[in-house]
Amino acid sequence: MNYPKDYLLIFFSALLAFIRSIRNDFVFDDQEAIIKNRDLKNLDDIFSLNVFQHDFWGTDIDADSSHKSYRPFTVIIYRLIAKFIAIDNQTSLSSSKSLDPFPFHCINVLAYCFCCCYLYLIIKNWLRSRLICHGEFRQLALKITLFFTIHPLHCEPVSTCVGLADILSALCSLVSLNFFISNLNLYDSHSHKSSIKWIIIQLNIILFAFASMFFKEQGITILGFVLILIIQLWLKSWLTSDKNIRHLRLLSTVFIYLFTIVGFLYLRLWIMNFKLPRFSRMDNPASHMTSSIFRFINYNYFYLLNTVIILCPIWLSFDWSMGCIRLIETFVDYRFLLVILFWIITIIVICKILFSSPNLLPFILFTIVTFLPSSNIFFPVGFVIAERNLFLPILGYCAFFVHCHYRLSKLLAPHFCTLLNNSFYLLLIIFTIRTYQRCGDWNDELKLYELDARICPENAKIYYNIGKISADMGNRLKAIDYYRRSLTLYENYTNALNNLANIMKEDPDGLDEAKQLLQRACQLDPKFATGWMNLATIEMALGNFDQSERYFYRALDIRPDHANTHFNMGNLYIKQKKFKEAENSLRRAIELNRKFTKAWHNLILMKQNDQSFDMAYELATKALTELSNDDSLHFLMANICGQYLQKFSKAEHHFHEAIRLRPKNPIYSNNLAVLYHRIGRYSDAIQYYRQTLRLDPSHKNAKNNLNKLLKKTK
C-alpha cells in the first residue's frame, strides 16, 4: 500500500513550501508573545503555575487590559524552547538579543509537517469509515492533504512563532477526532471489553480536546464537531435500519460531550473571571456599529472575504483591522448585494451537497464549527479577518475542491480526465510557489509591513508599525512621516499619538507639540496609563514639576504596578532633590522589575552622590546578581570600589568584566588605565591608555595622562 511514500511526500511538500520561514525574525505578535512576555523572563521554574494565571501575552488574565487569550500550554512550550536557548547561549533572557528565533521557527515548521502527515491519517480513516465508506479513500485523502498542506493561507501560522498555538491546537484536535473515527466499531459491539475500551476512548477524546483548548481557545470546537458525527452515525443507522448500533451508548456519548463542553466553557469563563475581553473600535470596527442590522451585514461581508482569500490567496495581510476593510453603512452599497449573492450561492451549494453528495457534508460542517469562535456570533472578536484562525477551517474547502475535481473527472473522457489531473497538479505547484514567496515576506518585519501596505493602503496600523520599526532603527524622519500618515487615516489613534510625541520630545523645539499630542491621546482614552506617564515626563522636561507629579499619580492610579512610571517618578524627585521619595520610587521600580538596569543605575548613583558609598556598593552587588552581563553596572561598581572604597582588586576585576562585555568602549579602558596609574602599575596603565587611544584617537584625557606617564618613567 505504499503509505510511507505518501507520508514522505506530504512531509517534504510542507518542508519545501515553508522552509524559508526558518530564517524569519521575531515578527509582529512574536514581539509581545515572546520577547516582551514576562512569563519568558524568569525560566528557573519551567512549569511555574504563574503561566496559568496570565494570558498569552503575559498579562494577568483577570485584568481589564487582558485580551483573555488563554494558552498556557503554548507558553510552556515557549519556555522550554527559551530555556534551551538560554543554556545554549549562556546569556540572560532580559533582552531580545538573548533569544534566537531560529529554534522557534524550526519547531513551527516541523510541528506543521507532522500535523499535515497526521491529517492524512485521519482523512484516510474518515473516508474509509462507516461514516463515508469511499472506495478511493487513499487517492482522495492524499489530494485533500496536499492541497491543505501547501495552501498559502497557512503562511502566517507557520511563519510566525505565535502560530505554534494554532498548529499544536489543531494537532490535538485532530488526535481527538481520530480517536473517535478510528473506534466507531465500539458502537456496534456488545462485549464487556468494548465497554472498557469505550470509556478509555472517551477519556482520550476529552483529554486531547482539553489540551487543544489550552493551546488555543478554538480547540473546544472539536467536541462540538464530534457531536455532529455522532448524530450523523445515528441518522445513518436509523435510515439503514442498522440494528447493530448501540443507541444507548451513542446517547451516553452525546450527554458526556454536552456535559464536557458546558464544563469547558464554564472553566474558560471562570478563568476570565466571567469577563469578556474589551476590544477597541480599531480592532473590530463592525462590532462598534450602533445599528445591529448593519453590524450583522458587515459580519457576513467578512465571511465573504474569508471565503475569497481561501479561494484565491493572492491578497494576504498580517492585519485586516482599522481602515483596511471599509464598512457597509448603506443598503445602496454594491457590497451589500455581494453579501446576498454570497449567501444564495452558499445555500445552493449546501443543498446540492446535502442531496447529491451527503458524504461531503461533514467536511463542510467541520469548517463551519471550527470557524464559529471567529464569527462574532457568540461574542465580538478582536480582529476583522485573522488568517491564523482559518488554519483548520480551510480543510472543508480543500475537501470540497478535491471532491468537485473527482466528480468532474468521472464525467469526462479519459484524455480530458488526464488534462484535469494535470491542471490539479499545476495548481499545487502554483500554490507552493505562492506559499514559498509569502513565507519570504515574513522574513523581516519592516519588509512585511511595507508589502502589506499595498494590500491594505487604508490601514492606519500598518503605517503605525512602519513608523515604530523606523524609530527603533534610528530613522527619526521616516518614523515621524509614517506616524503622521497613520494619524491622517485614523486621527484618534492613541498609540500613534503617543509614539509621535515620544519622538518629538527628543527635540527641545518639539516639546510643545509633544505635549499637545499626549493631551489629546489622554483625552481620547482617560485610562491610557502610558500616555499619562509620558505627559508627566514632558511636563518634567518643561520644568512643571507639580503638574508632572499629578500626571504620574494619574498614571499610577490606572497601572499601579508599572515599573517605568515609578522609575520616571523617581527621576522627577531627584530633580526636585526629594531624595527619600526618589529612593522609594526607584526601589519600587526595581521590585516590579528586578532587571531594570536604569533604575539600578539611578539608585546607585544617587547613593554615590550622597556619599553613601557602602550602600552604593551593596546596591551594585545586588544589581549584578540580577544583571551579571551588564557592562555598565560592572563599570559603575569598579568606579565605586576604585575611587571611594579603596578596593582596588575588586575595581580591577569589574573593569576587566566591563571591557570583556564591551571591548570597544574607550571609557572603560581609560578608567582602568587611571586605576593602574593611581596604584603605581605604570606598565599596565600605559598599555590601557594606548588601548583607549586605539579606540578613540581624540581622547584628550588618555593622551595627557599617557604623555605624563611616559615622561615620568623615562
Q: What is the pLDDT of residues 32-83, one digit of tens each?
A: 899 888 888 777 777 778 889 999 998 888 877 788 889 999 999 999 998 8
Looking at 252, 273, 294, the residue that finishes a domain is 273
Regarding whether 542 and 474 lie in a shared domain, the answer is yes
The answer to whether residue 403 sits within a structural domain is yes
Regarding whether 481 and 415 lie in a shared domain, the answer is no
Which pLDDT value is given to residue 61?
A: 87
For residue 390, which amino acid is it? L
Q: What is the pLDDT of residues 337-382, one digit of tens each?
A: 999 999 999 999 999 888 888 888 889 999 999 999 999 888 888 7
Instruction: Examine the pLDDT at 468 and tell me if it is beyond 70.
Output: yes
Nearest-angstrom CA–CA distance, 558 and 472: 27
Regarding whether 313 and 193 lie in a shared domain, the answer is no
Please report where in the chains the cell 474589551 appears, as a residue.
Answer: 278
In order, the DSSP letters of 108-128 are HHHHHHHHHHHHHHHHHHHHH
576: phi then psi, degrees, rounded to nearest 5: -85, 0
Q: Averaged over 536-562, what is the pLDDT?
A: 93
Instruction: Examine the pLDDT at 290 and tell me if it is beyond 80.
Output: yes
Name which residue leads in pLDDT, 7 or 244: 7
Bridge partners of 54, per DSSP, are: 60
How many CB atoms sit inside 10 A of residue 190's CB?
Answer: 9
In 110-232, at which residue ranges do the beta strands (DSSP E only) sit? none
> Chain centroid to CA 196: how far?
42
Regarding whether 390 and 265 lie in a shared domain, the answer is no
Regarding whether 415 and 327 lie in a shared domain, the answer is yes
Nearest-angstrom CA–CA distance, 624 and 600: 10
The answer to whether residue 227 sits within a structural domain is yes
* Radius of gyration (C-alpha) of the chain in whole angstroms: 31
State the average pLDDT for the chain: 89
* Contact by Cβ (8 Å): 310, 153: yes
DSSP designation for 23: G
Name which residue leads in pLDDT, 191 or 324: 324
> Chain centroid to CA 366: how far?
26
Instruction: Provide the pLDDT confidence category of residue 95 given band limits of 50, 70 and 90.
Output: very low
Q: What is the pLDDT of residues 670-710, one digit of tens each?
A: 999 999 988 989 889 999 999 999 999 998 888 988 888 88
* Contact by Cβ (8 Å): 320, 308: no
The answer to whether residue 213 sits within a structural domain is yes
Tell me the three-class secondary structure of 239-253, residue by residue. Answer: HCCCCCCCHHHHHHH
Question: What is the domain count for the chain?
Answer: 3
The answer to whether residue 115 sits within a structural domain is no
The answer to whether residue 671 sits within a structural domain is no
Q: What percent of the chain has pLDDT over 90?
A: 60
Nearest-angstrom CA–CA distance, 539 and 548: 5
Q: Averaged over 155-180, what is the pLDDT?
A: 95
Instruction: Examine the pLDDT at 94 and tell me if it is beyond 50.
Output: no
Q: Averaged over 325-331, what is the pLDDT?
A: 92
Instruction: Examine the pLDDT at 89 and tell me if it is beyond 50.
Output: no
- Set of cell numbers at residue 239: 435510515
Regarding whether 429 and 313 lie in a shared domain, the answer is yes
Regarding whether 549 and 466 lie in a shared domain, the answer is yes
* Contact by Cβ (8 Å): 532, 551: yes
Give the pTM. Answer: 0.85
Which pLDDT value is given to residue 88?
A: 45
Looking at 557, 579, 594, the residue that finishes a domain is 557
Domain containing residue 213: 186-273
Which pLDDT value is given to residue 346?
A: 93
289: phi then psi, degrees, rounded to nearest 5: -70, 140
Regarding whether 269 and 296 lie in a shared domain, the answer is no
CATH number for position 523: 1.25.40.10
* Contact by Cβ (8 Å): 23, 103: no
The answer to whether residue 246 sits within a structural domain is yes
Regarding whether 337 and 262 lie in a shared domain, the answer is no
Regarding whether 293 and 228 lie in a shared domain, the answer is no
Regarding whether 539 and 483 lie in a shared domain, the answer is yes
Which pLDDT value is given to residue 2?
A: 56
Q: What is the dihedral of CA 421, 423, 428, 429, to 10 degrees?
A: 120
Q: What is the pLDDT of residues 377-412, one digit of tens each?
A: 888 887 888 899 999 999 999 999 999 988 888 887
Q: What is the pLDDT of residues 120-131, one digit of tens each?
A: 999 998 888 766
Regarding whether 507 and 368 lie in a shared domain, the answer is no
Which pLDDT value is given to residue 44?
A: 72
Q: Averaged over 227-248, what is the pLDDT?
A: 72
Which pLDDT value is given to residue 191?
A: 64
Nearest-angstrom CA–CA distance, 483 and 462: 10
686 CB-near residues (< 8 Å, 6+ apart): 673, 706, 709, 710, 713
Q: Averaged over 474-491, what is the pLDDT?
A: 93
Instruction: Examine the pLDDT at 497 and tell me if it is beyond 60.
Output: yes
388 CB-near residues (< 8 Å, 6+ apart): 156, 157, 160, 162, 163, 166
Cα torsion 576, 578, 581, 584: sign: positive
Name which residue leads in pLDDT, 275 or 306: 306
DSSP designation for 326: P
The answer to whether residue 408 sits within a structural domain is yes
Looking at 377, 403, 438, the residue that finishes a domain is 438
Which pLDDT value is given to residue 521?
A: 94
Which pLDDT value is given to residue 421?
A: 87
Which pLDDT value is given to residue 411?
A: 82
The answer to whether residue 541 sits within a structural domain is yes
